[in-house]
Amino acid sequence: MSLLVIGTVAFDAIETPFGKTDKIVGGAATYASLAASYFYDKVKIVAVVGDDFPAESIANFGSHHIDTEGLQVKAGEKSFFWSGKYHNDMNSRDTLITELNVLADFDPIIPANYQDCEYLMLGNLTPQVQQTVIKRLKNRPKLIVMDTMNFWMDIAMDDLLETIKLVDVLTINDAEARQLSGEYSLAKAANKILTMGPKYLIIKKGEHGALLFGEGKIFSAPALPLEEVFDPTGAGDTFAGGFIGYMAKAGTVNFDNMKNAIIYGSALASFCVEKFGTEKIKNLSAGEVAARVQQFVNLTKFEIITA
């Protein structure tokens, strides 16, 4: 039994209205596996880095009990590098640099002892690589969650459509839900996307929370109104990782557990944006996570007494 996370492990250089970083460790699999590790202790990653990737950053996964046997280190090559600058509203950003490096020909090799994977998180990556991972697993996982983005809809829609057929939960943002479905109404978009393969759809709305669709039901999760969003990088990956980590802990795939998983994922994402990169989500205590979850409970709880 384990939770497998695939995605990028990479360097980011980030500029926000609050400051800028040099190259820091980022990547979808980094954020997602760290987040998942708060709820589940058998998280394993498949990813690729160059030999420029610092050994202490790999060791940091270990301190979260994340198995890095599937993290390929390519000698003489460089890690994936992304650099971006956020606008003042923090909701939009410009990509300044994208260097694929090791990612250009990433072949996701699954170590033999990863074959016990019951929960699979397909972090944002080429849909074809995501699909390859599913096919290389001898037993279909109990739950496959896939994150993706508009970039793949623009350049690899056919591959994307093939891949989403194979997953249980798709997580995208509202603009992407509209792009994928061709529907403006999110309710209509969700109905359409749920005919494309996934049994559940999570629409991430950033500062407006998230919507879960599935089993003919809808759940609306709030976002915590934050005084300051310091750096949104990785928030979506952290959300997805927290989501699947909680699902693995819960052990049963159903709508009620997914509702709670969304709250836990949202709580971790709300920490993520408070500092640059993984700085905040690297060192959270169980008490901090529980207190943040309680804030989400307080934020939405109401008691209607029907007359």
CB of residue 306 to a copy of itself, shortest distance in Å: 6
| Closer residue to a copy of itself in complex, CB, 42/44 | 42
| Closer residue to a copy of itself in complex, CB, 76/287 | 287
In whole angstroms, what is the distance from residue 40 CA to residue 29 CA? 15
CB of residue 294 to a copy of itself, shortest distance in Å: 8
Query: Which residues of this chain interact with a copy of itself, rule CB under 8 A?
Result: 88-90, 184-188, 190-191, 205, 207-209, 211, 217-223, 225-229, 256, 259-260, 263, 290, 293, 297-300, 302-304, 306
| Closer residue to a copy of itself in complex, CB, 134/250 | 250
Contact 242, 38 (CB under 8 A): yes
CB of residue 268 to a copy of itself, shortest distance in Å: 14
CB of residue 135 to a copy of itself, shortest distance in Å: 34
CB of residue 207 to a copy of itself, shortest distance in Å: 7
| Closer residue to a copy of itself in complex, CB, 50/209 | 209
| Closer residue to a copy of itself in complex, CB, 71/223 | 223
Contact 57, 33 (CB under 8 A): no
CB of residue 89 to a copy of itself, shortest distance in Å: 6
In whole angstroms, what is the distance from residue 208 CA to residue 198 CA? 23
Which two three-digit tokens encode residue 57?
């950053």
| Closer residue to a copy of itself in complex, CB, 129/262 | 262
